[in-house]
Amino acid sequence: MVSVNSNKVVVVGTGQVGSTTAFSIITQGLCNELVLIDPATTKAMGECRDLDDGSEFLNRHVKVRVGDYADCKDADVVVITAGRRPPKNSDRMGELQFTLDIIGGITDGIMSSGFDGVIVVVSNPVDVMSWYVWKRSGLSKTQVLGTGTALDTSRLKTIIGEETGLDPRNVGGFVMGEHGNSQFVPWSAVSLGGKPFAQFLADNKDRFSSVSTADLEAKTRERGNVIKDAKGGTNFGIASTVAGIVQTILWDERRIVPVSTLLDGEYGEHDVFLGVPTELRANGANEIVELTLTDDEQAKLHRSAQIVRSYCEGLL
């Protein structure tokens, strides 16, 4: 008998990030069924119909519909994108109280269905929200993860590609820590074409004399703000990032991605979610890859952990 494997993804929130995430999932044909949940059901219905109308020209038909929290019961992955665009001159941590009021109810709704899959948190501040959803849901630490510094890592590679004129996919390395102002690049672990990045710059001083790691790191940190100032918010980059994470989980690809996951002794930290290189499998976030950091890099990680942990205090 032929066995039929089907998978289902639920996206909670149909704002710009949620709807673009749904678009990325559908155009890549990542699942059999996609369900959108939003209290604005008319908006969600419009998104579903708009997404479905292009199915004739896609490689795979994905069933897309509006649903409610009962649909989470048999979902493989639930993506939480609910929130708002930060007001001008605000930052991700500034959205904590607003987002917290929403995420608590969403988490309770998901868990009331009997859900036992993987939750991917996108809502900012994502490290704090991931910790909160993990605590509130009662799920295992593998089953709750945030997008973390995955998008920041892609931004770093893109910026290095812009500066060097090379394909960003030639860059190896990660942005780590908070998805926010205290994030950092462990340059000791960054490479280009297999060569340590610092050595690459030293060997090509005549071509890249104006390129500095400090500038690259600053540009990476500010990239989101630059985009927000230009167009009001970000949606394409984060949507592609979420789709990549969802694919890795659904297809059990076992890729190493710097998602926000629980540190439980790794890097000397406990009870905090940070963006660190993590092996993703079908059951979620598994083994954390502990890089050999320099003393300065380790100090930056601890500082980032302290900041995130301070915002988690008193939330439960």
Note the pLDDT tens digit of each residue in 183-195. Answer: 999 999 999 999 9
Query: Binding site for substrate: residue ranges?
Result: 92, 124-127, 152-155, 234
Q: Which residues are catalytic?
A: 179
Task: Name the residue with tokens 């001008």.
Answer: 88
Q: How many domains is the chain built from?
A: 2
What is the distance in angstroms between the CA of the first residue and the CA of the last residue of the chain? 49
Residue type, 256: I
Same domain for 192 and 138 = no
- pLDDT tens column, 90-137: 666 667 887 888 999 999 999 999 999 999 999 999 999 999 999 999
Any idea what the CATH number is for the domain that residue 170 is in?
3.90.110.10
- Answer yes or no: are the C-beta atoms of 116 and 130 closer than 8 Å: no
pLDDT exceeds 60 at position 2: no
Per-residue pLDDT at 95: 73
User: Which of 146, 165, 200 finishes a domain?
Assistant: 146
Whether 1 is in a domain gets the answer no
Q: Does residue 82 share a domain with residue 198?
A: no
Whether residue 210 lies inside any domain: the answer is: yes
CATH for 60: 3.40.50.720
In a domain, 2, yes or no: no
Containing structural domain, residue 131 = 8-146
Same domain (yes/no): 33, 135: yes
Strands (E) in the chain, as ranges, are: 8-12, 33-37, 63-66, 77-80, 118-121, 144-146, 171-172, 191-192, 195-196, 256-264, 270-281, 284-288
Do both 94 and 174 map to the same domain?
no
**Where residue 212 falls among pLDDT bands split at 50, 70, 90?**
very high
Cβ-defined contacts of 225-232 (< 8 Å, 24+): 228/85, 228/86, 232/85
pLDDT band at 301 (very low <50, low <70, confident <90, very high): very high
Give domain status of residue 3, yes or no.
no
Q: Which residue ranges make up the annotated binding site?
A: 13-18, 38, 43, 69, 92, 122-127, 147, 152-155, 234
Q: Report the largest interatomic distance among the alpha carbons of the chain, rounded to a whole angstrom.
A: 65
Does residue 220 sit within a domain?
yes
User: Structure pTM?
Assistant: 0.95
Complete DSSP assignment for 221-254: HHHHHHHHHHHSS--HHHHHHHHHHHHHHHTT--
Give yes or no: residues 168 and 296 share one domain: yes
| Residue that is written with structure tokens 């998602």 in the block | 259
pLDDT in tens, 38-92: 999 999 999 999 999 999 999 999 999 999 999 999 999 999 999 866 666 666 6
Task: Give one DSSP letter per residue of 111-134, joined into a string.
Answer: HHTT--SEEEE-SSSHHHHHHHHH
Do both 136 and 228 map to the same domain?
no
